[in-house]
Amino acid sequence: MSEKIPTSKDVVAHLNARFAERGLPYRIENVAVLPYMNPMWMANWDVPQLANAPEQDAIEAEIREARWKFPQVMDEF
């Protein structure tokens, strides 16, 4: 039995929950997903929506953790 591949909606839900737990005011609507699965198993998604947000240390820490949890996702938006 194969595991279900997470989707971009899973990443959005996870990050929004983590930002809320940290008390950050940011919520994302979607993530940018590459149109293919990365053969090197590096994350195939990014969050350009938060590139200019002031709390970059906290945001990057959450994104880094999410990339370990969701290295490869399928775009569901």
- Examine residue 38 and state whether it is found in any structural domain, yes or no: yes
Q: pLDDT tens digits for the chain (77 residues)? A: 457 889 999 999 999 999 999 999 999 999 999 877 666 667 889 999 998 899 999 999 999 999 999 988 888 86
3-class SS of residue 33 = strand
The pLDDT assigned to 41 comes to 66
How is residue 61 annotated by DSSP?
Answer: H
| Structural domain containing residue 30 | 8-69
Q: Would residue 3 count as lying in a domain?
A: no
Q: Residues near 7 by Cβ (< 8 Å), separated by ≥ 6?
A: 73, 74, 75, 76
Question: What is the per-residue pLDDT for 36?
Answer: 73
Residue 52 backbone phi and psi in degrees, to 5: -110, 15
pTM value is: 0.85
Q: What total of structural domains would you count in the chain? A: 1
Q: Report pLDDT for 2.
A: 58
Considering the domain boundaries, does residue 75 fall inside one? no
Residues 54, 72: Cα–Cα separation, whole Å: 27
